[in-house]
Structure 1
Amino acid sequence: MTDFPGANAALDTAAYAIVGAPLDVSTTFRPGARFGPDRIRTFGQPFDEYDRRTGTHFGALVADDGDLPAWDDAAEYLSFLEGDLAEHHTAGRIPLLVGGEHTVTVAGVRAAAPDVYVCLDAHLDLYDAYAGNELSHATVTRRALETVDEAILLGVRTGSEDEWNRAAAADVTVVEADDVGSWEPTFDGDAYLSVDIDAADPGFAPGTGTPAPFGLSPRALRNVVRAVAPKSVGFDVVEVNDRDDGQAAALGAKLLQEFVFSHADA
C-alpha cells in the first residue's frame, strides 16, 4: 500500500491520521468502493504537501495509519472501525476516514459524537432501511441522525418520496445543488464533515457507485470544505471507486488536503 503523499508525521505526534476503510458490501449500482483508499493515495501522489494559501505543511501534521481491512458483516465492521477512530480522538488526533462505501461514515460520526452532520452528497440517504438493510449506503443520514442533533445535506439532487418527507423535519436541512454557492455554515456546535464524491457532477468525478448528473463543480466542493473544516471534529471522503481514470480519486485526495489545510489554519 502506498501512503498518502506527504503524510510523513509520526503517529504519536500527528494532529491528523488517515484511516482507510475499504468496505464495499451494499453498493447497489457500480461496486468498487473497496479500491477507494488505494486510489485516493495513488492519485494524490503528484500533489505538493505545502499550501501557499495557509502556509501549512501537510507532512508536519498528518500520519497515514493504513487501512482497516473490511469483511462482509457491516455491523461488526462498523463497530470495529468506530473503536479505532475513537482511539485517534482520545489521543488528540482527528481521523481522516477514507472509504469505502458511504456506510463507513456511520462509524466516523459515532466516534466523533458531533452536534451537526454536514454532508456533500447527491442523495438524501434518508432511508430507514434500503432493501431491508439498515446499514446501507442509502441509510447513512438516517443513522447519523441517531447521534447528531441536525443534518445538513449539500448538493442533493435526488431522493425517494419517503426520503423527501423525512427531510422536511426540523432536524434536516437540504441545500440543493443550485443553492450550494450561497450557503454559509451558520450552525452552532461541532460538525462532522462527510464528502460523498458523487456530490460532484459525474463529468468531474465519474468513478463512483451511483453517479447523478447536474452536480457540483470541484471548486464548489472545495469552498464548502474550506468553510466547514474550522468547525469540524471529524472528516471523511467516500464512494470513490475504480470506474474512471482517476478523476474521482484525485478530487477526493485534494479535498482531504483542503480539509487539513483549512482546519489547521483555523
Structure 2
Amino acid sequence: MFPGATASRTDAAYVVVGAPLDISTSFRPGARFGPERIRRFARPFDDYDRRTDLRFSDCSVHDHGDVRAWDDASEYLSWLAGELRDVVDSDAVPLLLGGEHTVSSAGVAAVDPDVFVCLDAHLDLRADYDGNPYSHATVTRRILDGVADSDPDVDSDGGSADPDVDEAIVLGARTGSPEEWERAEADDVTVVAPEDVADFDLDAAVGDRTAYLSVDVDAADPGFAPGTGTPEPFGLDPRALRDVVRTVAPRAAGFDVVEVNDRDDGQAASLAAKLCREFVYAHADTADD
C-alpha cells in the first residue's frame, strides 16, 4: 500500500493504481517493478506537509493495488482505461504508477482532459517504434491522435479523426527523431527545452483547461534519477519537476508517474513517490479553498 493511503474506496478523493506494464522498453527493462518501488520508497516521508499544512493521511487517498499486466499492450491499455474510468466516475482523481510510459494513454482515455502536460526527456511522437504503435516511444503521438484506449483503424501516419486532447505540452524534452521534431512543429504540440522550463509561463499555457499530468521520471537528469529505462543527460533537477507538478495539479483531473525501474538504489523511485505526494498536496490544497 502507498504509505498514508488509508481511505476506503468509497470515501476516496484520490486512488492510487499501479500499472506494471514493461513490454516495449527499448534499453533497460524493469519498469514492471516501478509501482512496488515507488510505494516502498515513499515509506520514509513524513505524513505532514508544512507548505500546505496538510497530512497525506487526511487527504482521502486509497490504494487500489496493481492492475496486473500481460503481453498484449492494446488489450491491457483498454482494460486499464476501464479501471481508471471507474475511478473518475466515482469523482476521484486517479494516481497512476507505472510501468512504462505507454500506460499514460489509458489515463488520458479515462480522464478525457483538454490538455496533456508531460514532463519527459523524449518527444514520444513516433507513429510507431520498430513497427509497434503501442510503445513507450509513441505515447504522446497516440494521445494526440485519439487512439488511446482502443484499437481503431489507424491511418498511415498513425492518426485518427477524433483526438483525445487539444494540445500536448512537453516539458524537458531534449531528444527525438527528425520525424518527431517535425510533428512537434504542429499547432497542437508545445515543446519546452530543459533550460527554458523555469521561465515558461505554464499557468498561461494551460489556462482554464482541464489537464492530465504525466511525469516520465527520465525528464530528470539521470544524475538525480538513474533508475529509468532510457536515461538522457542534461535534464531537469528535482525542484523543477516539483514546481511543474505544483503548478499543474490544481487543474489536473489525473496524474501519473512512470518509467521507474530497479536499476538504482531508489533515487528514481524516491523522486517519483515525492512528486506523487506533491500532486496530492497541491490538488487537495486548492480543493479546500
> Does TM, scored on the shorter chain, surpass 0.5?
yes
User: For residue 209 of structure 1, what is the amino acid of its counterpart?
Assistant: G
| 1:37 aligned residue | 35
| 2:160 aligned residue | none
- In 1, Cα distance between equivalents of 2:79 and 2:224: 33
**Higher mean C-alpha displacement, 180-189 vs 158-167:** 180-189
**Higher mean C-alpha displacement, 205-214 vs 177-186:** 177-186
- Aligned pair partner of 1:236 in 230, 241, 256: 256
| 2:159 aligned residue | none
What 5-or-longer segments of structure 2 have no aligned partner? Answer: 147-163
Give the number of equivalent residue pairs. Answer: 264
User: For residue 154 of structure 1, what is the amino acid of its counterpart?
Assistant: L
User: For residue 37 of structure 2, what is the amino acid of its counterpart?
Assistant: R
**Higher mean C-alpha displacement, 32-41 vs 175-184:** 175-184
User: For residue 200 of structure 1, what is the amino acid of its counterpart?
Assistant: A
- In 1, Cα distance between equivalents of 2:92 and 2:46: 22
- In 1, Cα distance between equivalents of 2:136 and 2:9: 30
| 2:156 aligned residue | none
- In 1, Cα distance between equivalents of 2:47 and 2:99: 24
| 2:165 aligned residue | 148
- In 1, Cα distance between equivalents of 2:233 and 2:125: 20
Give the C-alpha shift of residue 49 in structure 1: 1.8
**Is 2:266 the partner of 1:246?**
yes
User: For residue 245 of structure 1, what is the amino acid of its counterpart?
Assistant: D
| 1:175 aligned residue | 192
Cα deviation 1:147-194 (Å, max 9, x = unaligned): 101000000010000000000000000000000111222123100000
- In 2, Cα distance between equivalents of 1:182 and 1:25: 36
- Aligned pair partner of 2:18 in 9, 20, 26: 20
**Is 2:127 the partner of 1:107?**
no
User: For residue 98 of structure 1, what is the amino acid of its counterpart?
Assistant: L
Counterparts of residues 126-141 of structure 1 (less than 5 Å): 126-141=125-140
- Aligned pair partner of 1:209 in 226, 229, 234: 229
| 2:63 aligned residue | 64
- Aligned pair partner of 2:178 in 153, 161, 174: 161
Counterpart secondary structure, 1:44: coil
- In 2, Cα distance between equivalents of 1:86 and 1:56: 27
User: For residue 111 of structure 1, what is the amino acid of its counterpart?
Assistant: A
Identity %: 66
**Is 2:214 the partner of 1:194?**
yes
User: For residue 173 of structure 2, what is the amino acid of its counterpart?
Assistant: V
- In 1, Cα distance between equivalents of 2:252 and 2:25: 27
- In 1, Cα distance between equivalents of 2:54 and 2:91: 19
User: For residue 158 of structure 1, what is the amino acid of its counterpart?
Assistant: T
**Higher mean C-alpha displacement, 152-161 vs 50-59:** 50-59
- Aligned pair partner of 2:242 in 219, 222, 226: 222
CA contact (8 A) 1:97 1:236 kept: yes
- In 2, Cα distance between equivalents of 1:8 and 1:50: 14
Cα deviation 1:105-125 (Å, max 9, x = unaligned): 000000000000000000000
| 1:124 aligned residue | 123
| 1:258 aligned residue | 278
Give the C-alpha shift of residue 40 in structure 1: 0.2
For normalisation by structure 2, the TM-score amounts to: 0.90
- In 1, Cα distance between equivalents of 2:57 and 2:134: 35
- Runs of 4+, deviation exceeding 4 Å: none
- In 2, Cα distance between equivalents of 1:51 and 1:91: 26
Counterpart secondary structure, 2:102: helix
CA contact (8 A) 1:208 1:241 kept: yes
